[in-house]
Chain A
């Protein structure tokens, strides 16, 4: 290359980089909530309506949320390709603007503020994990409708004071309901269960709720809830604590793949064959990667991760097909934590015939069911959250033996 050509090449690379960066989620320029564009083919104005997504694109949830944001974008594409939404006789296409919460409460608060005051959205979806508490309060103050993707039941996430917040995905309590029902029906010899969960502040709330549910189901809870440090180097002590309970089964009520898989591995390494029941948004096969093939046995899993049930709904099948086409893979990673809220909000816009958050929220409250990727969801949650603002639906139950996950059945899992 000549010396003269180098500056041009450099400029071209920089221009390409800038263009690539601006096309990334979360790097979009400021948008107004509704905009009008014209297509050359029809010459008819097509309006777009912008909704916000508060996701954890970086930090400890970064890799996981990058996938779930991708699912949300696929859901938006599916809505738009099916004709978009109809409000006030006008056809709109949805546009998703994503802000990064950086997997911290501060970052999520900043992201929610940006969505509300800079992106000017009236509807926010997400975030994940326990970050709802950073969004729900802001939405309540500013009358912004919020549909969360997960909930750990900590104060301020979803309760009687968060009237503008909903849970579009049943999350941990939904999974727990499903797995408990499956356990009851299929493992009659289990009488005494140990419970584990991350010590991330949710034990007094989510822990208390699941403890009550276990007792209501007729089981004895072995000791107190075993809370673990998500950042522990070694999870062997927690596995030792579980084994010392001499329970018939241990239920990992929430938590990510590393601690749960490590506890499973340590239990099996030490010769324990206690039934390992797990419920969270983790692909069942990921436990095998952490615990090992031989150690991944005697596992029952209930999560939103679809691994090939024979009868997916048409929209779930469409989601899987598009997901595989967009990023490759086997179609196992479909947790839909943000995709379901997108799908639900599109229905709500059509039904409410309005973009007024107060109207849409009232419409949601007056509905008893709504369509989700996992079939018809029931709107419930009064007993659990103190407000009927949660969507729960059937979930896939998977067992893992000798490292091989096997789909067992769809489990109706109604959050009370």
Chain B
């Protein structure tokens, strides 16, 4: 095999893994909120953006270590999750129209606030991990490998939390039967707030890492939100397994298609692939069929 082909294949595999893990982190948070609170939080992308900017600000303006900046970003945005649950989602619980309008309002306010306050449209968070791993002719950024490992570790932690802890059990109970959960004495507001905190913290983690892996713009949440929606529809809305599987598909397509196709054709072909899959599985890969 030609040297250039090997380089391309290895780089593509690494890109696919990193992208997939970040997409999954973000989509998982979105799914949490949908399952537990029945909320389609269209402002999830903007939370991701805010997380990225807090990390950037801490690392470059305040000048603290990037990892500490990441933790601060996760903590701040996680706390913002409690605020969101209490003052943005809870008052409009069950009213999807109001939730959509509120989310659009939140997006507008936060995106414009960042756009106005930033002197430059595009910036980048300094690398979290320096250095390059060289194996024969192949060279890989250590940062990418570390980001992938962080993504996978967080996924495992979240899945363990859902499946092995009391709070995780409560979350599943609320997701399956809200009234039943209330009758069992589960504090639904606490569970909802916890889901918001986890969702926001995951978004902040993904945003902070992607701010270094890619770049930061006030509009970075918009593009990533489209990916999240693609993953949710493809995987089946509400399905955590679906998120994992569809995240891997979308991330891989995002990394592979540009290699073979010209730029703008990439997104069109990706949507075509998703549409074809949905033709055969309209409820998504792991979604439950709902009969009228």
Query: Chain A: residues with CB nearer than 8 A to chain B?
Result: 63, 198-200, 203, 227-241, 243-246, 257-258, 261-262, 265, 269-272, 286, 289-294
Contact = CB atoms under 8 A, between A and B. Distances in A.
Interface SS of B by simple majority: helix
B264 A229 contact: yes
18 contacts: A230-B263, A232-B263, A232-B266, A233-B223, A233-B254, A234-B15, A235-B214, A236-B255, A238-B258, A238-B263, A241-B8, A244-B5, A257-B122, A261-B124, A270-B132, A272-B139, A286-B122, A289-B123
A316 to B, nearest CB: 24
A229 B132 contact: no
A237 B266 CA distance: 11
Contact of B267 (A63, A229, A265): A229
A227 B144 contact: no
Given A230-B263, A243-B7, A244-B5, A236 B122 contact: no
Chain B interface residue bracket vs A: 35 or more
B163 interface: no
Interface in B1-58: 3-5, 7-8, 11-12, 15, 19
Contact of A243 (B11, B122, B254, B255): B11
Given A235-B214, A236-B11, 18 more contacts: A227-B263, A228-B263, A230-B263, A237-B255, A241-B258, A243-B7, A243-B8, A244-B11, A257-B121, A261-B122, A262-B214, A270-B11, A271-B134, A286-B120, A289-B123, A290-B122, A292-B124, A294-B127
B267 A231 contact: yes
Interface of B: 3-5, 7-8, 11-12, 15, 19, 120-124, 126-127, 132, 134, 139-141, 143-144, 213-215, 217, 223-224, 227, 254-259, 262-267
A228 B263 CA distance: 4
B215 A262 contact: yes
A289 B15 contact: no
Contacts of B143: 269
Contacts of A240: 7-8, 11-12, 15, 259
Contacts of B122: 257-258, 261, 286, 289-290
B19 A234 contact: yes
Contacts of A244: 4-5, 7-8, 11
